[in-house]
Structure 1
Amino acid sequence: MSLKRIIIAGAIGTTFMTLYSYWASKKEREQFLEPALLNELAEDAEVLPEAVDEETNPAGWAGHYGQGVVFVAAYYYLYRNALQKPSVAKGIFAGAVSGIIGIAIWEAMFRMSKNPPKTERYRYYRQLFIAHLIFSTFAIYGYRLPDVVKQLR
C-alpha cells in the first residue's frame, strides 16, 4: 500500500468535494460545509476546546480531510482495481457506496449530538451524496496522479 498515494488521493478528493459543498451551500442558502458542521458537532464534546469560528477552526478541517484519507484507504482495500485502472463509472460506484455510508455516519452524529447543527437534513444528505460522487471520482484519479507526474518528467 502506498500511504503517500492514499494521502494525495484523499486530499484531492476532499478538496473537490469541499468546493462542491461550498457551491451547494451558496446555491441552497444552507450550511452544507462539512468542516463547519463537524466543528458545530464538536462543541458538544467536553474534551475539545470551543470553536471560535466554525468555518475556519482547524479541528473540523482536519477531521474532514482525515476522513477523506480513511475513505481512500478503504477504497484501496476494497477496490484496488478501481484505483489501478480508474474510470468515471468506478468513481461513481465508489461514490454511491461512500455517499450512503457518509449519510449514515452524519445521521448517527446528528442523533448523538445534544445540540445538532441547524440544517435541513434531506437537502444536506442530497448534496452530501453528490459530494461523495465527486470525492470518489477525483480521489480515484488522484491516486494515479504520481504516475502521471512521473510520465511527464
Structure 2
Amino acid sequence: MSTTIINILISGLIGTTAMTLFTIFVETVTGKDLGEPKYLNRLISTSVHFDAKIGDNHIFGWAAHYVIGVLFAAVMVAFRSISGIHLTTLNGMLLGTALGIMGIIGWTVMFAVHHDPPKIDFPLFMAQLIVAHILFGATIAFYYR
C-alpha cells in the first residue's frame, strides 16, 4: 500500500475523530442529540428499503461515518496535489467549510427523501456540522504540515 493511501487513511481517521469529539462536546453542552453515526443508523433502521432494525450505536453508522471522513481526506489531498497549494491551517479550514457545505447538502437530501427522518434540531445540527468540518479541515492540514 502506498504511503499516500496510508496517509489519507490516517489523516481521515484523525480528522473524523476530531470532528466527532467536537460533536460530542456540543451534545454535552446543549443536551441535544447530534451524532452523525446515530442519525445514519436511525435512517437505516426506519427505512422501507432495508429490513434492518439496528440501534443508534450500531457499527454500520460508525463505519459509514469514518469511511466518509477518509473520502473527504482524499478530496483534500487531491486538491493539494492538483492545485499545488500547500495545506495550511487557513486553507484547510476553507476546504473544511466546503466539505461541511457538501455534508449539509447530503444530510438535507437524505432527510428530505426519507419517509420518516429522525426528529432533530436541524439548525443546530447544521451549524455544528459546519464547525466540525472546519475542525476536520484544520486537522487534516495540520497532519500534512
TM-score (ref. length: structure 2)? 0.89
Partner of 1:32: 34
* Deviation readout 1:84-133 (Å, 9 max, x if unpaired): 83321011111111111110001001111111111111111000000000
Partner of 2:49: 46
Count of matched residue positions in the alignment of Structure 1 and Structure 2: 142
Partner of 1:85: 86
Q: Which residue type is aligned with residue 129 of structure 2?
A: L
Measure the CA separation in 2 of the matches of 1:78 and 1:72. Answer: 10
Q: Which residue type is aligned with residue 137 of structure 1?
A: A
Partner of 1:106: 107
Partner of 1:151: none
Partner of 1:13: 15
TM-score (ref. length: structure 1)? 0.84
Pairwise mapping of residues 122-133 of structure 1 onto structure 2 (< 5 A)? 122-133=123-134
Q: Percent identity?
A: 30
Partner of 2:6: 4
| Higher-RCO chain (CA-CA 8 Å, sequence separation at least 6) | 1
Alpha-carbon spacing, 1:83–1:34, altered in 2? closer, same or farther (3 Å): farther
Q: CA deviation at 1:20?
A: 0.3
Does the 8 Å contact 1:83/1:140 carry over to 2? no
* Deviation readout 1:12-46 (Å, 9 max, x if unpaired): 00000000000111212211111111111111153
Partner of 2:71: 70
Alpha-carbon spacing, 1:41–1:82, altered in 2? closer, same or farther (3 Å): farther
Does the 8 Å contact 1:35/1:60 carry over to 2? yes
Does the 8 Å contact 1:75/1:83 carry over to 2? no
Q: CA deviation at 1:82?
A: 8.5
**Structure 2, unpaired ranges of 5+:** none
CA RMSD of aligned residues (A): 2.0
Measure the CA separation in 1 of the matches of 2:27 and 2:76. Answer: 27
